[in-house]
Amino acid sequence: MTLRWDVLAAILGMVAATFLCRAGGYAILRVTRPPPFIQAMLQHLPGAIFVAFLAPALAREGWPACVAGGAALLVQARLGRMALSILTGVAVLWIIRSLQ
Amino acid sequence: MRASPPASPPPNLPPGAFTRAGFRRGARAALGLTLGLAPFGLVVGMAADARGLSLLETLLMSGLVFAGTSQLVALELWSDPAPILAATLAALVINLRMAPMGAALAPALDRLSGLRLWGTLAVLVDNSFALMVTEIRSGRRDAAFLLGASIAMWVVWIATTLAGHLFGAAVRLPPGHPVFFASVAALMSILVPLWRGRSDLLPWCVAGLLALGAQALGLGAPWPVLAGALGGAAAGAARDRRRDGAREAGRP
């Protein structure tokens, strides 16, 4: 159970940077009333963030990942069980990869 | 709706509600999604072990940073002595995507202060963010729901990085193994409750295309996500405001 000072310093640096990101956006919003356009943007941000994260991730992994992702989406839309949806996505990708 | 705040808080909740029941509901809601986090936690635990971090150091990093992608990237560029500046910058750049998340949660956070506010923000993660957004949209604003969901993710995160560090050397899953697709699959399933109908089509398409474009230009994290998220949200906002403007003008 060693704890080196340089490792601790790197971890604390990461903690500070990450907290700045987590709290900073809201902190700015709390002190300044944003213009109406920004307020309208905030309504659309949640979906856009996840789509913007997923599109490049799926593109990098190719069509099997797109099919598996589609399967996860379908299961969630039909059955509404996130755990089942995740397992389906992994299983479909696993099957496609093992057939390739 | 921050643009037109209700005159009074929703009737089912007192102002600034932060309830035990909300916390429990949030934790329960996050349980299914922890399945997407688990393989990622294993990978981070294994990477920390491979980089020579002790168990204590690994648990400190996972427990305090609690942001998987930035941990993985920092571990990629790890050296001895530890790269203090590089790890800090990596965390800053990669986690920049969380800044707009906190802002978007304003309806639930505005009535909080002190430790409840900043403590809840300190453990914010993508998945608990998405769950809280669907809560807000269905009229519930108990921020303890967000804390509960985040803490459930945190517990699984700690447990799986611990397992990865202890048993990683024995398991040795190759990097492209389908199990690691779980984190992407979790985000795919999150899209379903976030979808509000056809008016989301334009911002979502713009977000996807901009992110793909930024990646095609060779830009690394977090630029594709930020470009897509901000561009998509701006497209949606511009469309809404034009539509509202037209409605105003058409009024007698």
Pick from A15, A51, A93: CB nearest B208: A51
Say what the pLDDT of residue B8 is: 44
Confidence check: pLDDT of B16 > 70 = no
B76 in contact with A, Cβ within 8 Å: no
d(CA B187, CA A69) in angstroms, rounded, equals: 9
Q: Which residues of B touch A21 (CB under 8 A)?
A: 91-92, 95-99
pLDDT digit string (tens) for B117-134? Answer: 999 999 999 999 999 999
Residue B166 and residue B161: Cα distance in Å, rounded? 9
Residue B173 has what pLDDT? 74
Quick one: pLDDT at residue B43?
84
pLDDT of res. A1: 75
Token readout for B228 is 């897509």
Q: Are residues A94 and A73 in the same domain?
A: yes
With an 8 Å Cβ cutoff, is B229 touching chain A?
yes
- For residue B203, what is the nearest residue in chain A, using CA coordinates? A48
Nearest chain A alpha carbon to B227? A52
Report pLDDT for B179: 84
Reference A47, options B236, B222, B24; nearest CA is B236
Q: Which of A67-71, B40-44, B129-133 has the lowest mean pLDDT?
A: B40-44
State the ipTM, two decimals.
0.87
Give the one of B189, B203, B236 whose C-beta lies nearest to A85's C-beta. B189
pLDDT of residue B40: 86
Q: Is the pLDDT assigned to residue A100 strictly greater than 90?
A: no
Domain of A50 in residue numbering reads as 36-100
Q: Do residues A24 and A43 share a domain?
A: no
Same domain, A55 and A82: yes
> Is B4's pLDDT higher than 50?
no
Is the pLDDT confidence value at B225 over 70?
yes
Look up residue A4 and give its DSSP letter. Answer: -
Residues A5 and A53 in one domain: no
The pLDDT assigned to B7 comes to: 41
Instruction: Check residues B62 and B11 and name the one with the higher pLDDT.
Output: B62
* Segment among A24-28, B45-49, B198-202 with least mean pLDDT: B45-49
Considering only A71-75, B179-183, B215-219, which range has the smallest mean pLDDT? B179-183
Contacts 24+ apart (CB under 8 A), A72-76: A72/B185, A72/B188, A72/B189, A73/B188, A73/B189, A73/B191, A73/B192, A75/B189, A76/B188, A76/B189, A76/B191, A76/B192
pLDDT, chain B, mean = 88
- At residue B180's C-alpha, the angle toward residues B177 and B181, to 5°, is 100
* CB–CB contact B89 A85 (8 Å): no
A61/A99 same-domain check: yes
Q: What is the pLDDT of residue B5?
A: 44
What is the average per-residue pLDDT within B156-173?
88
Q: Which of residues 98-137 of B touch A (CB under 8 A)?
A: 98-106, 109-110, 118, 121-122, 124, 126, 129-130, 133
Kindly list the residues from chain B whose CB atom is less than 8 angstroms away from the CB atom of residue A77. Answer: 192
The model's confidence at residue B59, banded by pLDDT at 50, 70 and 90, is very high
The answer to whether residue B250 scores a pLDDT higher than 70 is no
A4 with A45, same domain: the answer is no
pLDDT band at B110 (very low <50, low <70, confident <90, very high): very high
Q: By percentage, how much of chain B surpasses pLDDT 90?
A: 59
DSSP state of B113: -
Q: Label residue B63 by pLDDT band (50, 70, 90).
A: very high
| Chain A residue numbers touching B56 (CB-CB < 8 A) | 1-3
pLDDT band at B6 (very low <50, low <70, confident <90, very high): very low
pLDDT of B246 higher than 80: no
For residue B252, the model assigns a pLDDT of 53
Residue B244: the pLDDT is 85
Upstream peptide bond of B107 is cis (omega within 30 degrees of 0): no
> Least CB-CB distance to B82: which of A9, A61, A82?
A9
Task: Average the pLDDT over A30-54 and give the result.
Answer: 89
Position B3 scores a pLDDT of 43
- Same domain? A8 vs A50: no
Gap between the Cα atoms of B87 and B74, Å rounded: 5
If asked whether residues A15 and A45 sit together in one domain, one would say no
Number of domains in chain A: 2
Are A66 and A20 in a shared domain?
A: no
For residues A19 and A64, membership in a common domain is answered with: no
| A64 and A49 share one domain | yes
Smallest CA–CA separation between B245 and chain A, in Å?
12
Taking the C-alpha atoms of residue B49 and residue B89, their distance in angstroms, rounded to an integer, is: 22
Name the pLDDT band for B171 (thresholds 50, 70, 90): confident
A78 and A47 belong to one structural domain: yes
